[in-house]
Amino acid sequence: MRLEFIRDGPALLIENTERTLIVADLHFGIEADLAAHGLHFRSHSRERLDRLLKTVDTSAPDRLVLLGDIKHSIPTLTRQEWAEIPGILDTIRRRIPILVFPGNHDIGIERFLQNGELQPKEGAVIDDVAYFHGHTYPAAHLGGHLLITGHHHPQVNLRDHVGCSLQAPAYLRATIDTSALGLDIPEGSGVARALFVPAFNEISGYDIVRIARDPFSPISRCIRQEDAEIILADGSYIGPLSLFLEDDDMDKKPGKGHHDA
């Protein structure tokens, strides 16, 4: 199995017997939700779709896995989503076959999908790799496979010694507690690992330290933080999660950042 990290997605390409492109958390229609909260932006759906199609063209996969939260609003569909989602999906499927693992934001998405595109929300195994969105408990039979999950929008906050900082999409790779998740692990399959995929939506990011400190899904509550690792969107290895947790602890110490006059 070969993994390729595509920075300009961010997206993940997995090559086994076939080539599968994975994209998570598109959140088409997010602008309508922002407008409802007083933040008014024009729709960037066209640019987001163009970036997705470019990623498909440059990676030449056999299929595209959409790892949930294709749309944004819950629990209903907004006017923007009604207008945009059907055309977006038609444009994508004219380019490549799609499989959709529905997320918690995807209520009603099934009406826009064709036969065979909608996958179980608890996940499925495709070409010996397990996929699910990440907001529910995964199906037991996903055990024994690398588990690819969206939902968490991981990003890393990097700071240098002079105080400059950078927020960047990132992957979180970790061993998971299979018994706590209820996964069936075949004998001899070794440890189970999960790979948390960053959001494709350019304005959806969530600090990896916050994911670890305050987990909000079954799988994020079951990662073994002591061996978790952070990888940038281009595949650059950053280091263990524990280093970022230690830095966060230092930032919270009383008096940090203050100097006596």
Give the tokens for residue 211.
């994911």
CB-based contacts of 83: which residues, under 8 Å, 6+ apart? none
Give which of 12, 76, 80 is closest to 44, Cα–Cα: 80
Residue type, 188: G
| Predicted confidence (pLDDT) per residue in 68-77, tens digit | 999 988 887 8
Q: What's residue 257's pLDDT?
A: 42
pLDDT at 253 over 60: no
Tell me what percent of the residues of the chain surpass a pLDDT of 90: 73
Contacting residues for 98 by C-beta, under 8 A, at least 6 apart: 63, 64, 65, 66, 89, 92, 117
Please write the tens of the pLDDT for every residue from 190-246.
678 999 999 999 988 999 999 999 999 999 999 999 999 999 999 999 999 999 998
Mean pLDDT, the chain, whole residue set: 90
In which band, very low, low, confident or very high, does the pLDDT at 56 lie, cut at 50, 70 and 90? Answer: very high
pLDDT at site 260: 32
Q: Nearest to residue 147, comparing CAs of 12, 53, 8, 6?
A: 12
Is the pLDDT score of 96 beyond 90? Answer: yes
User: Token pair 């989602």 is at which residue?
Assistant: 85
Percentage with pLDDT > 70 across the chain: 90
Residue 36 to residue 78: CA distance in whole angstroms: 11
- Residue 24 is classified by DSSP as B
Helix (H) or strand (E) holding 66: strand 63-66
In which band, very low, low, confident or very high, does the pLDDT at 78 lie, cut at 50, 70 and 90? confident
Is residue 11 within 8 Å of residue 55, measured between CB atoms?
yes
pLDDT > 60? residue 138: yes
